[in-house]
Every structure is written in C-alpha cells, then in structure tokens.
Amino acid sequence: MSFPLLTATAALPAVGAIATAAVPAARRTAAKWLALLVSLGTLVLGAIQLVRFEPGGARYQLTESHAWIADFGVRYELGVDGIGVALIALTALLMPFVILAGWHDADPLETHNSRWRPTQGFFALILAVEAMVILSFEATDVFLFYILFEAMLIPMYFLIGGFGDRAHAGGDEAAATQRSYAAVKFLLYNLVGGLIMLAAVIGLYVVAGTFSLSEIAAARANGSLDMATNTERLLFLGFFFAFAVKAPLWPLHTWLPNAMGEATAPVAVLITAVVDKVGTFAMLRFCLQLFPEASKWATPVILVLALISIVYGALLAVGQRDIKRLIAYASISHFGFIILGIFAMTTQGQSGATLYMVNHGISTAALMLVAGFLISRRGSRLISDYGGVQKVAPVLAGTFLIGGLATLSLPGLAPFVSEFLVLVGVFSAYPVVGIIATVGIVLAALYVLVLYQRTMTGPVKESVRGMPDLKVRELAVVVPLIALLVFLGVYPKPLTEIINPAVQHTMSDVQKHDPKPQVEAVK
C-alpha cells in the first residue's frame, strides 16, 4: 500500500491541534512553537502533493478509498485534481504566516477587567481549521465533504467569538458583545446553508444511490443515471445555496464584514483567504460536476448576483471608515469576480477564477496582516485615527501599499493575471456582463488609494508619532507574501499548468466549449 499522502496532510494539523491544546497552561511559548512547526510540516506535505501531482494524468490523483458507513454507501474517499491541489498548497502556505502574525494575539491581558485568553486553545483551533479545510479539498465523497463543510464552523465560531480583535473603541464589554454577535451571525448563516445542503445531499443519495463522485460520473457516462430536470435543479439549488453563503455571494454576504471586523487579523485571513475558498471550490467540484444541466440553467441569475457582489462590495468598501471592514467588502467584490469566472463557463474564465482563489488568498493575507500590525500599534481600526504613517514607519507603509496595489490588481502583481483571465473569459461569452464587471476594477483603485492616502500620507498625526516600524517577526510574515505576489504576477505558469487540465475536465462535465472568435480572418 502506498503512503496515504492526502490523509497525512490533513492528519498532521489535526494531531497537532490536539497536542497543542494539551500543552500545560504555563508553557504558552512552547504551544506557539509546536503549532508553528506543525504548520511547517503540513506545508512540506502540501509541497510534496504538488510535486507528485501530474497535470496531464488522471483527473483525481493520490486517491484513497476505504469503507466508512457501509450500510449507507458512505466511503472515506479522497483524491485531488489540479484545482484541489492548488488550494491545498495555498492553505498550507498561509498557515505559518497566520500563526506567526498571531503570535501574541491570545496572550493574557494584564487589565483586571479582561478575561484570560487561552493561548493553547487559540493555536489549536487554527490547526483544527487547517485540517478540516485541507480534507474538504481532498474529499471526493459528497457525504464526507458535507461533514467537513459543517464541522469547520465549530472552531471558527470560537476563534471569532472567543479571540476577537482587541482594538475596539467601546471597551471590553462592548467588544465582547460585538464579537458574540459576529460569531453567532457567522454560525447561523452557515448552519442554515448547511441544513439546506443536507437535504440536497440526502436527495442526491436517493436519486443516485451513492455519494461517490467517481461512481456518479460513471453512472452518468453509461446512461444508468438520468435525473429528472426538476429534481436536478432542486438539488443544485440546495448545494449552491450553501456554497453561496460560504463564498460569500450577495445577498448572503452580510455575515462576512462582522466576522472579519471583530476577528483578529490572522483569523480574518483564515476566514476570507482559506475557509471561504471552500465555497467557490465546491461550486466547481460539486455544482458543475453533479448538476451540469442545472448549472447552465441557473447561470444567468448567478451572473447577475456576481455582478451585484462586484459593484456593491466595491461601493461599500469606498464608504468604509473601518480598515478591516473595508478589506472585508473588497473581498466580497473579489469573490464576485471568482464566481463570475466560474459560471461564465469558458476555459479562460474558470482558469482565471481558480487562479484568483489562490492570488486573492495571498494578496488579502498580505494586506490584512499588515493592517493588523498597524492596528495593534495604534489600538484603533478607524481610518480617521491615522495619518502620515509613512514618515514614521516607512517599511510598514510600503508593504501596506504593495498589498493594496495587489488588491486593486496592478499589472505585475499576481491578482492582475487572474482578474484579466476572468474578464477575457466573461467578455468572450457575455460582453455586457464583462463591461459592467470592469466597474469593480475602477472602484477598487478608488478605495485602495483613498485608504492609503488617508492613513499613510499627509501630516503626521499626534497619535501615530513614535509608532515603531515592522519588526523581524512581522517582516518574516509580510516579505515572503509580497515576494510571491511579484513572482506569480510575472510568472503564473507553474499554477496555470496544474489548473488548466482540471478546468478542461469541468468544461467537459457541463459540455461547454469556448465561443469562437468573432473577428474574421485576414485574407
């Protein structure tokens, strides 16, 4: 039996979470180092997956399959395609930076009216989320995926509600109230989506008699599975609703600004750069593969919702006074681009959407973590409390600018390539939709540059005088992310070579072909 690489990649952070939680209370530093070492080990296993994955090989590789609940046909079935392995690499890559950035976020507070923060619990929950997210990218059994899809809500709820941002103007009591509200809202939205998905999962089993993606694909190919049109559409809606909440897609997005605003910066990165990618990934793996005809039927409405997300999210980002909520609304706009690319159902659109998931994760992590370092120095999330920071902390201001420029998809930085591919794919199939989507690009430039101008330039405010620049630990977090943004911005080929074959399989599932060019050949 070959080494179960996929299981090991998810099991290492799961075991690490248990070990970290078991570290004695007085050994907080040891718990931090243990969590960091576990995340680095997971990164190594994720890199091995990338190396062993063959882009031109079978659709699902490194597969594992074992009986689990035999009476109901549930199997522990894993496999990765190019999309899954790229997102596993993203998750494994970001976790060491999340842990380093949150090194002191759960340290005990000295003030008498603040509750002690269990450091071990904080890092154990982060590792638990990593394990569940990685396994969800690997699961090819629908029921197994559903269990993971729901289970990851539990550690995220405690990370938002129990370890929230300390920079709150209303004091400890108001901060605790806001954290609780944000955590409950996050949980309720995602639980409702999950319950609707559960009904659809059961319905799929009744129709197909199996939860296995490979068995369903084989049955569809040989003609033994023929879903009625209305049945397929209802099942599609059940799955899509849950994924749209997670993604988040307008109008199911309202939990995200609260959750990101009240969470610490590393946990906010965990939400939008890692956990939310499960929603868009699942649209590709499950919605399009299981329900191809229903996906095409729903495409016009989904494109409209994605357009609203792009423009609405960007407009609200322009009007924000809170730095973290601005980044949250910017993410809603970016997720609109990802979903637009998926449901444009063109090769360029879906390749761009998958690449956008990776690049958005890196760029948002860079911007949000630098913003977190800024907020921790001043103790405020309000844009109006800053000014002239580049004169007292030039390195912090410079890295903040690069993160912002990546967010607005500046050419030469990684998000530009993915956004360009999405728009090319959309223009070729739906020109009017593509034209409207470009409004989001203009608004992105507005909210990013205005944010930088108000916080970093101008006279130095008294409240930021003496602000220290980035320290060694903080530079170790930011510099590699910026280097990746530049590298993937000028040379995205390593990722596109892995992603493109998987996109071709998805296009084959929905039986779609790229539109032919409208320009006549020159004679």
Report the distance separating Cα 102 and Cα 119, nearest Å. 10
Q: Which residue has the higher pLDDT, 379 or 314?
A: 314
The mean pLDDT of 11-39, rounded to a whole number, is 91
> pTM here?
0.90
The mean pLDDT of 503-516, rounded to a whole number, is 79
- What is the b/e burial string over 320-347, where b = at least 16 CB atoms within 10 angstroms of the residue's CB? bebbbbbbbbbbbbbbbbbbbbbbbbbb
The answer to whether residue 192 scores a pLDDT higher than 60 is: yes
Write phi, then psi, for 249 (nearest 5 degrees).
-110, 140
Query: If DSSP states are collapsed to H, E and C, what string results for 91-142?
Result: HHHHHHHHHHHCCCCCCCCCCCCCCCCCHHHHHHHHHHHHHHHHHHHHECEH
Mean model confidence pLDDT for the chain: 88
Closest to 78 in 3D by CA, of 93, 67, 94, 62:
62
Q: Which residues pair with 74 in a beta bridge?
A: 69
3-state secondary structure of 405: helix
The answer to whether residue 114 scores a pLDDT higher than 50 is: no
The DSSP annotation for 229-261 comes to HHHHHHHHHHHHHHHHHHTT-TTS-THHHHHHH
The answer to whether residue 521 scores a pLDDT higher than 60 is: no
Report the distance separating Cα 396 and Cα 185, nearest Å. 33
pLDDT in tens, 215-254: 888 888 777 777 888 998 999 999 999 999 998 898 988 8
Band of pLDDT at residue 385, cut at 50, 70 and 90: confident
pLDDT in tens, 200-211: 999 998 888 888
- How far apart are the two ends of the chain, measured CA to CA in Å? 60
- Is 443 within 8 Å of 318 (Cβ atoms)? yes
DSSP state of 164: B
- With a pLDDT cut of 70, the percent of the chain lying above it is 94
Cis ω on the peptide bond leading into residue 24 (within 30° of 0)? no
